Amino acid sequence: MDTTRNRTRLFSFLIAGAVAGMLGGAMMAMFTMLATATYLHMGFFTPLYVIASPLSGPQSMMTAMHGGMVYGVLVMLVMSFIVAPIVGAPNFFQLLGWPTWTIGHLLFGMVVGLWPVLRLQDFTGLLGRQARQAA
């Protein structure tokens, strides 16, 4: 009975430690991102680039992120000036402000741009299936 209680106590302790570690890591990431964006003059997302670079290499990651961010801005412009007026959606530029709306789309594009870099298998399998079906 004591063994079961000790295991439960140990498991609860480990879960609490993991949660505390995640919260501490999130706080550290926020501070580092603010520091690199302000007084270090390195860019807001520099810590994220550094974390992800061992997975895919710095150059391919930067290229994908820049391309994705351009895509995000294009999506923002098409949605704001073509789709939203047609469907009667509110003007998000006035509702949220230009900076918020633009940064949100830049983040969207950055994630979409990094997807093929970090999960290449999602795309190579799809291309292989399409080639086999076409043959």
Same domain, 70 and 26: no
- Overall domain count for the chain: 2
Task: Quote the domain boundaries for residue 71.
Answer: 45-135
Same domain, 49 and 38: no
Summarised one tens digit per residue, pLDDT across range 95-131 is 778 888 888 888 888 878 777 777 777 666 655 555 5
Same domain, 23 and 75: no
Residue 68 burial (10 A CB sphere; 0-12, 13-18, 19+): buried
64: phi then psi, degrees, rounded to nearest 5: -65, -40
Task: Please say whether the dihedral angle defined by the alpha carbons of residues 62, 64, 70 and 73, taken in this order, is positive or negative.
Answer: negative
Same domain, 3 and 49: no
Same domain, 34 and 49: no
Same domain, 33 and 50: no
Same domain, 66 and 124: yes
User: Could you tell me the pLDDT band of residue 132, with boundaries at 50, 70 and 90?
Assistant: low
Helix (H) or strand (E) segment spanning residue 111: helix 98-118
pTM metric for this prediction = 0.49
Structure tokens at 132: 């086999």
